Amino acid sequence: MRATDVLRIYGESVKRHLLAVTLVLIGVLAGSVITVVAPLYYKDFFDVLAQNGDIGERIEILRRIILAILALGFVSFIGWRTASFGMQHLASRVVANLRERAFAHLIHHSQRFFTSTFTGTLVQRVNRFANGYDRIADRVVYDIIPIIVQVVGVIWILASIQPVMAVIIVLWTALFLAANYSFARWKLKYDIAGTAQDSKTTGTLADIITNQSAVEAHGSHAFEQSRYGAQVATQMHMTRFRWNLAQSFDSIQALLIVVVEFAVFYVGVGLWAKGEFSIGTFVLVQAYIIRLSDRLWSFSRLIRDVYDSFADAKEMVEIMQAPHEVSNMPDAQTIAHVKGDIRFDHVSFSYNAQTIIDNFTTTIKAGERIALVGPSGAGKSTVVKLLFRFYDPTKGDLLIDGCSIRELSLNSLRQTLSLVPQDPALFHRSLMENIRYGKPEASDEEVLYAARLAHCDEFIDVLPAKYETLVGERGIKLSGGERQRVALARAFLRNAPIIVLDEATSSLDSESERYIQQALGELMKERTTLVIAHRLSTIRSMDRIIVMNKGRIIEDGSHDELLKKKGLYTKLWGLQQGGFIPSAINQ
C-alpha cells in the first residue's frame, strides 16, 4: 500500500470533473504568479519615490504604478475566487463519489471480514477516507502549488535583479524546507501511531455503546469508564507529545526567520553603499521574505497534514484493495429452476486453525426435510454459513442440483435459499420495510399475508404505528421472539426452493411456536428444508435427522432408526426435558 494507490483512487473520482479541475488550476496559477509579480511594482514605486526629478512626471508614473497594482489585485481576486468555487464544486461531488465507492466495495466483503473488524472503526474509515480527499486537495491547491510558484518565481526574479540576494534566499529556503521535511518525516511514526490510537479509542467507544444493556445489567459503568478512560488517556499522551514536538520545531523556524532578516539587511546595506541596491530593492526583498516565510512557516504542518490524510485514507484503501474473500467466478452461472438437491462433498472448514467442520458428507434430495441436531458448538450454524457461501470450505465442495455453488453467481445462489437465522438482526427501518426485505418487489398485500403466516400481526397490530413502527438499531425495540417472527415472515415472502431454519423458533413461546409450526409445515411442502432445531417435536416430524458433533456427522437416519442405534441421538433424546434437547451436554 503506497501513497500513489490513494492518489490513484482519488484521481479516478476527480477525473470526472476535468472542467472544474482546469478552472481551479488556472485560478491558482494566476493568483500565485501575481503574488510574486506585484512586489516588483512596489519596488518601482519606491524607486520612483526616491528619485530626484520632475515632480509632475513622477506623480504621473506613480499613479500608473498604483493602477497596475490595482489591476493585478483584481485579476488575483478573480483567480482565487474561481479556484475556490471550483474547489467547492469538486469537494462536494468527489467526496460523495468516494463515499459511494468505498461503500460499494466494503459491503461485498465477507462475514469473516466484518466479524473481525469493529463497526465503529469501519464507519470512521469510510468518513476519513472521503474527507481525506478534501484535506489533501485543499493543501495541494492552497499551499503546495502556491509554494512552488512563489519559491521558483522569487528566486528567478531576484537572480536577475540582485544575484547575491537570490543566493541568500535560495540557501534559506532550502534550509527551511529541508528542516521541515526531515522533521515531518521523523515525526511521521508518531503521527501514524496517533491515528491508530484514535481508531482504537473510537472502536472501544462503539463496542461499549453497542453493549450498553450489558453494561447496565452488570452495573459495570465504572469498569467501562476506566476502560474507555485508559484509551482516551493514551491518546492524550500521544497527542501531547506530538504537539510538543511541533511547538519546539516552530521555535527553530522563528529563529531562522530572524536570521534571514538580519542577513538580508546586513548584506543589503553593504550593496547599497556600493550603489548596487536601491530602496525599492529593500522593499522588494522584504516583501518576498514576508510572503515566503508566511508560506513556508506552516510547511511542516502541511506535510504532516498531507501524511495524516494519507494515513487516514490508507486504512480504507487497504480495505478497498483487499479482494473479496467470497466473490463471483468470472463465468459464474445462474440457475433458473432449482430442484433443490443439495450435496456436501467431503467438506472441511476452519475459521482459524481449529477444524470446525470435518469431512462433512451428505446428500439431501430435493423436497427432503432434514433436521440437523447436535450439541451447541457442534458446527450446525457453520454448515449453514457454508451452504450460503458466507465462507468457502477449506476442503471439499457443496453442490446444488449437481452444480458446485462456487460456480453459481452469488445472487443466483442466494435467490435459491431462504434463511431464518439463529439471532436475526433487523434494520432500523419500519416493520413493513423489514419484512419486505425478503422480496423487495412484494406488494403490501403480500407483505401483510406473510406477516400473518408468521404470526407477526399479533404484536404489530397493537403497536401505535403498526407496520410503520421503527424497530430501533438492529431491531432492539423488539423481543427475540418478535424478531424471529419478522425473519420468518421474510422467509414466507421469499418463497425460495431451499429453506434453512437455524433454531428459527428458539425464542418463541410454545403456543406461538405451535401456530407457526403449522405455517412452517406449509412452507416446507415440496421444498428442501434444513432445520436446526432443539425441540424434539419438530425434529421427529422431519424425514431424516443428521446428528453432528465436533464438526462431524456421527449419526444419520430417521427418528426410529437413530433410537435403535443407542448413540448420541438416544442420549440427547433420553436427556430431553420438556421436549427440548439440552443445548449443551457432556460428551
Ligand X SMILES: Nc1ncnc2c1ncn2[C@@H]1O[C@H](COP(=O)(O)OP(=O)(O)O)[C@@H](O)[C@H]1O
Least distance from Mg ion to the Cβ atom of residue 503, Å: 6
Which partner, Mg ion, ligand X, none, binds residue 52 by CB below 5 to 8 Å per kind?
Answer: none
Least distance from ligand X to the Cβ atom of residue 191, Å: 33
Instruction: Please tell me the distance from the alpha carbon of residue 204 to that of residue 207, in angstroms, as a whole number.
Output: 5
**Alpha-helix runs per DSSP H in 211-220:** 212-218
Residue of 288, 287, 285, 300 whose CA lies nearest to 254: 300
Place of cell 453467481: 409
Nearer to Mg ion by Cβ, of 422 and 469: the residue is: 422
Nearer to ligand X by Cβ, of 247 and 352: the residue is: 352
Which partner, ligand X, Mg ion, none, binds residue 187 by CB below 5 to 8 Å per kind?
Answer: none
Which partner, Mg ion, ligand X, none, binds residue 379 by CB below 5 to 8 Å per kind?
Answer: ligand X
Which partner, ligand X, Mg ion, none, binds residue 469 by CB below 5 to 8 Å per kind?
Answer: none
Least distance from Mg ion to the Cβ atom of residue 551, Å: 13
Helix (H) or strand (E) holding 548: strand 544-549
DSSP state letter for 323: P
Task: By CB under 5 A, tell whether 381 contacts Mg ion.
Answer: yes
Which partner, Mg ion, ligand X, none, binds residue 88 by CB below 5 to 8 Å per kind?
Answer: none
Rounded to the nearest 10 degrees, the angle between the axes of helix 279-297 and helix 299-321 is 40
279 bridge partner residues: none
Least distance from Mg ion to the Cβ atom of residue 377, Å: 8
- Contact predicate 401/343, CB 8 Å: no
Three-state SS across 426-471? CCCCEHHHHHHCCCCCCCHHHHHHHHHHCCCHHHHCCCCCHHHCEC
- Give the x-and-dash track for 340-379 against Mg ion (CB under 5 A): ----------------------------------------
- Greatest pairwise CA separation for the chain in angstroms: 126
Task: By CB under 5 A, tell whether 111 contacts Mg ion.
Answer: no
Instruction: Please tell me the distance from the alpha carbon of residue 141 to that of residue 14, in angstroms, as a whole number.
Output: 14
DSSP state letter for 504: T
Instruction: Please tell me the distance from the alpha carbon of residue 519 to that of residue 511, in angstroms, as a whole number.
Output: 13
Instruction: Please report, as a single letter, which amino acid is at residue 245.
Output: L
- Give the x-and-dash track for 408-427 against Mg ion (CB under 5 A): --------------x-----
| Contacting residues toward ligand X, per CB under 6 A | 115, 351-352, 356, 374, 376-382
Nearer to Mg ion by Cβ, of 220 and 422: the residue is: 422
Which partner, Mg ion, ligand X, none, binds residue 377 by CB below 5 to 8 Å per kind?
Answer: ligand X
Least distance from Mg ion to the Cβ atom of residue 388, Å: 13
Q: Footprint of Mg ion on residues 143-202 (CB under 5 A)?
A: none
Q: How many CB atoms lie within 10 A of CB 575?
A: 12
Q: Total residues contacting Mg ion (rule CB under 5 A)?
A: 2
Nearer to ligand X by Cβ, of 87 and 548: the residue is: 548
Instruction: Please tell me the distance from the alpha carbon of residue 467 to that of residue 430, in angstroms, as a whole number.
Output: 7
Instruction: Please tell me the distance from the alpha carbon of residue 40 to that of residue 27, in angstroms, as a whole number.
Output: 21
Least distance from ligand X to the Cβ atom of residue 324, Å: 17
Nearer to ligand X by Cβ, of 85 and 351: the residue is: 351
Least distance from ligand X to the Cβ atom of residue 546, Å: 12
Least distance from ligand X to the Cβ atom of residue 385, Å: 7
- Contact predicate 411/457, CB 8 Å: no
Q: Which residue is nearest to Mg ion (CB)?
A: 381
Nearer to ligand X by Cβ, of 115 and 577: the residue is: 115
Which partner, ligand X, Mg ion, none, binds residue 378 by CB below 5 to 8 Å per kind?
Answer: ligand X
Nearer to Mg ion by Cβ, of 415 and 422: the residue is: 422
Nearer to ligand X by Cβ, of 352 and 577: the residue is: 352
- Contact predicate 330/164, CB 8 Å: no
Residue of 114, 133, 138, 146 whose CA lies nearest to 34: 146
Strands 417-420 and 403-404: unpaired
Nearer to ligand X by Cβ, of 377 and 557: the residue is: 377
Least distance from ligand X to the Cβ atom of residue 137, Å: 39
Q: How many CB atoms lie within 10 A of CB 389?
A: 19
DSSP state letter for 17: G
Helix (H) or strand (E) holding 529: strand 528-532
Nearer to ligand X by Cβ, of 471 and 548: the residue is: 548
Least distance from Mg ion to the Cβ atom of residue 381, Å: 3
Which residues contact Mg ion by CB under 5 A? 381, 422
